Structure 1
Amino acid sequence: MFRKLLAIVLLIAAGGLAFYSLRTESSASGKSLTVYCAAGLKKPVEAIATQYEKDTGTSIALQFGGTGTLLSQLRVANRGDLFIAADDAALADAHKLEVTREVLPLAVQHPVIAVAKGNPKNIRTLADLEKPDIRLALTNPEAASNGKIAQKILGARWEVLAKKAAVMKPTVTEIAADTKLGAVDAALVWDSTVPQFKGLEAVKIPELSTHEEKASAAVLSSAVSSVEALKFARYLSAPEKGGTLFKEHGFQAAGGDAWVVKPELVLYSGGVNRPAIEKLVQDFATREGISITTVFNGCGILCAAMKTMEDSSSSNYPDVYYACDVCFVPPVAENFPEAVLLTEAEIIIAVPKGNPKNIKTLADLARPGLRVGICNAEQSTLGFMTQGILKSMNLFESVSKNASSQVPTGDFLVNQLRTGSLDAAVVYHINIQNEIEHFESIPLPADKAKAIQPFAVRVNSPRRQLGYRLLAWLRANQKSFTDAGFVWRGDAPAVKSSELEIPEWLQQR
């Protein structure tokens, strides 16, 4: 009863929603979610919520209204679990207001003109809407995303249409209903709105229908349980669950991950990334309510494992791959065709404090009697890059003679330096970041010293959207990377794996 009264109070405070639906009965599981949903998506979301309640026992309380109205309400209420918005701009506004977290696309929509079946007024263009005998209905851009988008697309022409409009209402469903009843001759709505009303048809015009917007579900910052909110969001977006019902109601489904109650994600990561991401990955799994299998190793070993599996549809094949450098993306580029360059790490020569052997350059590593540690070129990115660097400087043969240790990762070399087994080692600066009191670093030539770490999601992963949410989570936690000693690069868009810039001396043959 309290929740129902609160909903009514909020409706008044927000200036009035077009309509609302609130289920207050207790569920068998004792779990419940409150969902704020754009009115234009009412029919499919109600159907999906009903099916979800049957499948899981979780009660779904739904409140409907114009996207703008709902967003205003959320700012005041600071409660609820999911916000289903009709357009990207509304989600961007919600993000700026810090009321939303994860976003899962549900459907793709385009603005169109709705008219009565048969188009009796012969409306074909925007100019036809300006004719004196045409009664036009629009949505209020302050309340509905449809109106806001149309206003943005049409510019000055919107002002002309707004002055002429017979009615302007808060939701697309209201003006579509007016068109069906004959109260108006035409209305600017979403293409997904028209199939929900018998007796209407859509007129597509280039000025509007070429524009695309995504209707999406966003987890609210006020969600009582992120696990339960994300679980329902995944159900909404899953092709065989919510996607099917969206299509049945005339929507173009955006395409989400295949539905499972508790997804399992497989992450392959180069060892150098471990200090920055190990806890982040655990936190992400906890928030999402999923399982993550994380394999840290040298990238040569990781790529070899992927090639051995051959079939990328195997449940053991990684869904996401966070390499130590771009040079270890080409071997698996078929399955990871694009990557985001998240970070970079400096490669150095590490020596004991005081630099007792007076090592100044890579050439010094060739001095007779010196015990040098380098990583294995076939197993690790660091080893492969060290080999490439030395070969490009004609030092590989002479330094290799002193290489008393060739191991998969730089951490092993640092341990050997600590015990006195080595005089110097080529490692990442990150490897000595937390033990700087024991070591000194000798810089490499500037054009040789940088490894760039790309993050990629497998193109045919059934958990592709989950992989991209992990990427978003890592991007939102930049401090973890900089604290670990990385240089942050993750704000740039993804690049095609085929277009990665790899120096000649690092290209794999």
Structure 2
Amino acid sequence: MLKKLILVLCLGAAAGAAWVALKPAKPSSPPLTVFCAAGIKKPVEEIAAAYQKETGIEVRLQYGGTGTLLSQLKLTKQGDLFIAADDGALADAKKQEVTREEFRLVKQKPVLAVAKGNPKHIDGLASLKDPGIKVALANPEAASIGRVVKKLLGADWDALAAKAAVMKPTVTEIAADLSLGAVDAAIVWDSIVPQFKLDIAPLPELAKHEEHATAAVLSYSQQPAEALRFARYLTAPEKGAAVFAKHGFTAVPGDKWAARPDLIIYSGGVNRTAIEKLLQQFATREGITMTTVFNGCGILCASMKTMGDTSNPKFPDVYYACDVCFVPPVAKEFPEAILLTEAEIVIAVPKGNPKGIHTLADLARPGLRVGLCNAEQSTIGFLTHSMLKSMNLLESVSKNASSQVPTADFLVNQMRTGSLDAAVVYRININNDKEHFDAVSLPADKSKAVQPFAVRRDSPYQQMGRRLLAFLRENRASFETAGFAWKGETAPVKSADIVLPDWLKQK
């Protein structure tokens, strides 16, 4: 019996061991391929190594001149990220639909580099033109620094190029020539100077110019969420930005690092039909979670006030209100806004308008069951209340208000059940139910609600909030299909500068 028991246990153990051995290995994420301007090779290598150690994701780096890399990308259409050394090359890539989301990494200035101590006493263009001075330049067809300097110097570039001792495809190659004594001067990025232990000589023609080295997600990346995650790591103040600063670069810090950040969005209920699916798409592409709260803007503002200040971790990063009138209450936290869309306010009536309602004054008729939104809880309630008050109709219409709810969707549902004869709602609320409802227009100067989009001034995810705005702007059709009028190409407005008409000012 004991032998049988031992045999059973052994067979069980063997079976268990065999089962463990046969379990499929956990699939690993494919490596990220990054095409990187040669001038920022050292910090990017260090950041990539740290990222791989922290996340287990391999980062494969390919270096070259920005122009050379861009030409390669246009041909191969492969890879995940492109790190360009200047703004012009990045603009070209965007125009040619090679790239999508952009992350500024560092600021760079073109400078005249010389050997330590400037032994040849080089002090400007005149010195560079001296026949005894050997100058190294970067090829403008291959390297960003060459392209930028050629544009800045104009005709002087042609003279320098004609006498250049060497012209090479990357900025690091000409800096290396200078550090080895093969040439006397080279025009490079200021960030290159400390890497090669060089000095800077005056060259006023370049002094005021500044460019950015920027990482951009390639439009044909097969793993955009991973590409975006590494891009966020590159710019995070405590991650990539710190490494760039350590190497002598002027870093442009991005968002706080989190492998899977949670972006908190407060949105007025009227926006839901247009943005709900877009928010899901954005979250999937970015590889983030998203906490979205849809409600009346009065409730949203009250919730923010209850939190006290933005130190509360639940305070929203983004606020997309139903109308500009609900921006002033939180202007300190959201000092700037984009007026993204516009929605019309109407009186919703059953199909055929059986009660013959044509104006707001008609809503005061005895016996009518009228639906209004709550003025303290929602934008449309506040706008309706203010409109009626300005027309001396508030008291008479309110007597018929059998329902005062936080959002217009509730009123539409009550009309579907026959509980109301009319309701003041957004046209968008009944836009897809025209077989059951008609819309009665209201005075044009008082019936337009404008929806502002704002990112919190001290959000740890400001850049992500701005990328969300860019994504929404790219999807204008979603808003117009939902019934909004598009206003999203307008310039930002300061929240403190928003001027409301007297009839709409909150007392």
Q: Same fold (TM over 0.5)?
A: yes
Task: Provide the C-alpha distance between the structure 1 equivalents of 2:172 and 2:496, rounded to a whole number of angstroms.
Answer: 46
Q: 1:127 to 1:506 in 2, by over 3 A?
A: farther
The answer to whether the 8 A contact 1:28-1:58 is kept is no
The answer to whether the 8 A contact 1:109-1:214 is kept is yes
1:290-305 → structure 2 map (5 Å cutoff): 290-305=288-303
- Correspondence for 1:269: 267
The answer to whether the 8 A contact 2:143-2:170 is kept is yes
Quote the offset at 1:295 in angstroms.
0.2
Quote the offset at 1:219 in angstroms.
1.1
Quote the offset at 1:165 in angstroms.
2.8
1:69-468 → structure 2 map (5 Å cutoff): 69-198=68-197, 200-203=198-201, 205-468=203-466
Task: Provide the C-alpha distance between the structure 1 equivalents of 2:57 and 2:435, rounded to a whole number of angstroms.
Answer: 55
Q: 1:204 to 1:105 in 2, by over 3 A?
A: farther
Q: 1:112 to 1:401 in 2, by over 3 A?
A: same
The answer to whether the 8 A contact 2:38-2:172 is kept is yes
* 2:495 is the counterpart of 1:486: no
User: Percent identical across equivalent pairs?
Assistant: 69
Give CA deviations for 1:98-120 in whole Å, capped at 9, x if unaligned.
22121111111122111112223
Q: Look up the equivalent residue of 1:155 and give its one-letter code.
A: G
Task: Provide the C-alpha distance between the structure 2 equivalents of 1:349 and 1:65, rounded to a whole number of angstroms.
Answer: 63
Q: Look up the equivalent residue of 1:63 and give its one-letter code.
A: Q
Q: 1:421 to 1:127 in 2, by over 3 A?
A: farther
Task: Provide the C-alpha distance between the structure 1 equivalents of 2:129 and 2:284, rounded to a whole number of angstroms.
Answer: 55
Give CA deviations for 1:457-509 in whole Å, capped at 9, x if unaligned.
11111111111111111111111111111111112232221122422222223
- Correspondence for 2:18: none
Task: Provide the C-alpha distance between the structure 2 equivalents of 1:178 and 1:189, rounded to a whole number of angstroms.
Answer: 12
Task: Provide the C-alpha distance between the structure 2 equivalents of 1:50 and 1:350, rounded to a whole number of angstroms.
Answer: 61
Q: Look up the equivalent residue of 1:275 and give its one-letter code.
A: T
Quote the offset at 1:164 in angstroms.
3.7
For residue 134 of structure 1, give the secondary structure of its aligned residue in structure 2: coil
Task: Provide the C-alpha distance between the structure 2 equivalents of 1:318 and 1:376, rounded to a whole number of angstroms.
Answer: 23
Quote the offset at 1:379 in angstroms.
0.4
Give CA deviations for 1:240-287 in whole Å, capped at 9, x if unaligned.
111111111111111111111111111100000000110111111111
The answer to whether the 8 A contact 2:150-2:157 is kept is yes
Q: Give TM-score, length-normalised by structure 2.
A: 0.91
Quote the offset at 1:206 in angstroms.
4.9
- 368-377 vs 431-440, which moves further: 368-377
Q: Look up the equivalent residue of 1:325 and give its one-letter code.
A: D
Task: Provide the C-alpha distance between the structure 1 equivalents of 2:153 and 2:365, rounded to a whole number of angstroms.
Answer: 73
Q: 1:246 to 1:417 in 2, by over 3 A?
A: same
Q: Give TM-score, length-normalised by structure 1.
A: 0.91
The answer to whether the 8 A contact 2:124-2:204 is kept is no
For residue 264 of structure 2, give the secondary structure of its aligned residue in structure 1: strand
Quote the offset at 1:29 in angstroms.
4.4
Q: 1:43 to 1:371 in 2, by over 3 A?
A: same
The answer to whether the 8 A contact 2:343-2:485 is kept is yes
Task: Provide the C-alpha distance between the structure 2 equivalents of 1:312 and 1:351, rounded to a whole number of angstroms.
Answer: 42
Task: Provide the C-alpha distance between the structure 2 equivalents of 1:334 and 1:486, rounded to a whole number of angstroms.
Answer: 28
Q: Look up the equivalent residue of 2:261 and give its one-letter code.
A: P
Q: 1:484 to 1:30 in 2, by over 3 A?
A: closer
Q: Look up the equivalent residue of 1:296 and give its one-letter code.
A: F
Q: Look up the equivalent residue of 1:193 and give its one-letter code.
A: I
Give CA deviations for 1:210-247 in whole Å, capped at 9, x if unaligned.
22222111111222211211111111111111111111
Q: 1:116 to 1:409 in 2, by over 3 A?
A: same
Q: 1:121 to 1:400 in 2, by over 3 A?
A: farther
Task: Provide the C-alpha distance between the structure 2 equivalents of 1:402 and 1:417, rounded to a whole number of angstroms.
Answer: 15
**Where does structure 1 lack aligned partners over 5 or more consecutive residues?**
1-26
- 116-125 vs 94-103, which moves further: 116-125
- Correspondence for 1:61: 60
Quote the offset at 1:317 in angstroms.
0.5
Quote the offset at 1:135 in angstroms.
2.5
For residue 431 of structure 2, give the secondary structure of its aligned residue in structure 1: helix
The answer to whether the 8 A contact 2:409-2:429 is kept is yes
Q: Look up the equivalent residue of 1:435 and give its one-letter code.
A: D
- 342-351 vs 494-503, which moves further: 494-503
Q: Which of 1 and 2 has greater Rg? A: 2
The answer to whether the 8 A contact 1:342-1:490 is kept is yes
Q: Look up the equivalent residue of 2:324 and give its one-letter code.
A: V
- 429-438 vs 358-367, which moves further: 358-367
Q: 1:155 to 1:395 in 2, by over 3 A?
A: farther
Aligned residue-pair number: 482
**Where does structure 2 lack aligned partners over 5 or more consecutive residues?**
1-25
